[in-house]
Amino acid sequence: MTHCDTPSDAAQAKDPSNLTIALVGQPNVGKSTVFNMLTGLSQHVGNWPGKTVEQKTGTFRRGDGTTLNLVDLPGAYSLTANSEEERIARDYLIHERPDAVIAVVNAAALERNLYLVAELLLLPLPLVLGLNMTDVAEQHGIRVEPHVLAAALGVPVIPIVATRNHGVAELADAAVAVALDPARYSPVRPTIRPDHEPVLAAIRALLEVPGTSEGAWHLAAYPLDWVALKLLEGDAEITALVKATLPEVIWTRIHTLLMQHEDAYLDIAGGRYEWIGRMMRAAVTRPKAGAVSVTERLDRIATHPLAGLALLLGILGLAFWLTFAVATPIASWLAAQVLGALDAVAAAVLSWAPAWLFGLVSDGLIHGVGTVFTFLPILVIFFAVLGALEDVGYLARGAYVMDRFMHLMGLHGKSFMPLFLGFGCNVPAVLGSRIIEDRRARLLTILLAPLVPCTARLAVIAFLAPAFFGSQAALVSWALIAANLLVLAIAGIAVNKLAFHGEHTAFIMELPLYHVPNGRTVGLYVWNNTVSFVRKAGSLILIASMVVWALSSLPSGDVNRSILAFIGRLLEPAGRLMGLGDWRVIVALLTSFFAKENTIATLGILFGTGEARIGLAAMVAAALTPAARLALLIFQLLFIPCLATTATIKQETGSWRWMAASLVMLLGLSFGAGVAVYQVGRLVGW
């Protein structure tokens, strides 16, 4: 029989009034909903140290004064560390030794969820089972007997409906009870089949050789029974750790045993599935064979290759419409009214101050940092739509339908949603990559997101194209957007080949049962993600705003004699390769780094038309040849993203290197495309 050490004194609660509880579960089981219901706004969202995977921690104070420190671990299908999420969850449980573990399982998909529970039971940590979505299970004819399941597992089983906050407090109470009295914890653990029990015992004995006892093993803190089992399973990470830790002679003996029993993993998995089967037969009643559930009926449309695609386009079209019809006007109002009012207040308060100080406050602080807040309506709409789609269970269907198209770029279906919503704003597109579990796919999605033309870029094109191309403006604009998306696809293929060696992520996604979304869950999702953006990206924008203002104002306060103008003149030779020999156009493109709309504002100032912009597009058109005009628009579409997007890329990747790689790639693409278009146009006499 496979067993594990009982909870040690180190695992027991050090302070009964302050306990640490870990939340564990497979994706789409409602684990984060339980976390949100318990912690409310008393939570912190960040990244695990050195990782891009989201970390959520929060506190919950019970009526008796006990404070629970809750850690929402990443969704994991097992503890085999096949992904970064599974590795983080496993390492936290083993190294940090929380006082108790709450395993949230989906009552409607209990058999699949119990595999993770089987692995959790092998760890020396008190466990409580949260049987979630019992209402959804009953709607589909599935009935689970919690008391029978608790008796079969030997652990507390608490039925809950997390979206309605039913049973969640009782679940926390049960976790506190086992944390304070771990001696009463006696689970029924799965067993390995008899054929391999002797070899498991032999490996366990070899791990206890002198010099590798519990003291030496403290560097990894892994229970030796569990290590022996993982070696038989072929866990690559544990195998490498043991090989590096043990004396060579001992490792050779263990390796010989492993080679003689290469099929042991089949018996281990078989033993677990037999154990799961016993649990299911004891506690679960299924619907009659042939019954068709609501989810199956809806999925006949939602996952159909054609009807599913049409439904997805309709839903995304609604999200697109909401962004344009609701969020964009509010964002424009905030930029015009709120920032304008703050400008007026600053002018009144600083009437005594020198011009440079007012410029610092107005251009640097108000219009610099204030730009962050004009993004908020777009962010709120984006996260509300994304949260609702995810909570209702549709997001997985959309990813499934789009998988075949995204696969061409080395991505999978989950990347489509963030990229599509980049048409509204690239900031939520980058933030939306959080829904992608695989790190490589997430990074690739982040790198490609700025290539989606956002509303600000499209606004610049819409303003300049009529003066540049007259009656052909609409056709040229559509062609530019189509070419932009083609570049995105080609860039995705190239980056995947060069940076990730053509790897493709296996797209394995559970299609959860449909259920009514919970307003509180969606609201907390919107709140936490929006606050996270403002806190992290805002600080970078503040610094960069000061730099941009200083470059455009120093040394004399005249932009024509500023450092920015000097830089523009230095770049004139490179601009001439695209037909942009006028430094004013180059400076306008440079200032678009702060905000893409700045291209028009800067052109207005430098060409002398001011805020009225009277004839501005015509004046710019007169300064450029037709080929140069087209090169300018292409460069604008492909140029490096705005400051907010750049800051968000740094935030989400957690790396200056990846942020720099994104900027270099986009700068190279935009410059190369601009030069190619102009030179070809010049050769044909355009």
Query: What digits encode the pLDDT tens for the residues 177-222?
Result: 999 988 778 888 887 777 777 888 888 888 875 544 443 444 345 6
Rounded to whole angstroms, the maximal C-alpha distance in the chain is 89
Query: Bridge partners of 45?
Result: 56
Q: Kindly indicate the confidence band of residue 610, based on its pLDDT and cuts at 50, 70 and 90.
A: very low
DSSP letter (8 states) at residue 105: E
User: Percent of the chain beyond pLDDT 90?
Assistant: 14
Q: Model confidence at 1, in pLDDT bands (50, 70, 90)?
A: very low
Q: Which residue has the tokens 């000061």?
A: 546
Q: How far apart are CA 251 and CA 227, in angstroms?
A: 13
d(CA 611, CA 578): 27
Lowest mean pLDDT: which of 129-138, 238-247, 454-463, 602-611?
Answer: 602-611
Strand residues in 108-219 grouped as ranges (E): 127-132, 143-144, 157-159
Cα dist. 415→406, 448, 615 in Å?
7, 10, 41
Distance from C-alpha of 670 to C-alpha of 639, rounded to nearest angstrom: 5
Mean pLDDT in residue range 456-478: 79
Fold for domain 9-184?
Answer: Rossmann fold (3.40.50)
Predicted confidence at residue 554, as pLDDT, reads: 77
Checking phi first, is residue 4 left (phi over 0); if not, alpha (psi -120 to 50) or beta?
A: beta
Q: Cα-flanking dihedrals φ and ψ of residue 131, to 5°?
A: -85, 90
Other C-beta atoms lying within 10 Å of the C-beta of residue 614: 10
Count how many Cα atoms sit within 13 Å of the Cα of residue 275 in the half-sphere of its side chain: 26
Q: What is the dihedral of CA 47, 48, 54, 58, to 10 degrees?
A: -90
**CATH assignment of 194-285?**
1.10.287.1770
Q: What is d(CA 167, CA 172) in angstroms, rounded to the nearest whole number? A: 9
580 Cβ partners below 8 Å, 6+ apart?
Answer: 586, 589, 624, 628, 631, 632, 635, 674
More confident position, 210 or 598: 598
Q: Say what the pLDDT of residue 342 is.
A: 79
User: Which pLDDT tens digit goes with each residue over 426-459?
Assistant: 887 887 787 676 777 888 888 888 988 876 787 7
For residue 576, is pLDDT > 70?
yes
Q: Where in the chain is the domain with CATH 1.10.287.1770?
A: 194-285
pLDDT in tens, 100-114: 999 999 998 898 899
Tell whether the model's pLDDT for residue 388 goes beyond 90.
no
> The pTM is what?
0.63
**For residues 616 and 607, is the Cβ–Cβ distance under 8 A?**
yes
Query: Mean pLDDT, the chain, as a whole number?
Result: 79
Under the banding of pLDDT at 50, 70 and 90, the label for residue 168 is very high
How far apart (Å, rounded) are the C-alpha atoms in residues 132 and 28? Answer: 11
**Entry field: residues in the chain:** 686
- Listed in order, the ranges of the chain carrying CATH 3.40.50.300 are 9-184
Quickly state the pLDDT bin for 611 (edges 50, 70, 90).
Answer: very low
Q: Of all residues in the chain, what percent carry a pLDDT higher than 70? A: 79
In 3D, which of 134, 105, 144, 110 has the Cα closest to residue 23? 105
Q: Is a pLDDT exceeding 50 seen at residue 466?
A: yes
| Higher pLDDT, residue 229 or 533 | 229
The pLDDT value recorded for residue 526 is 83
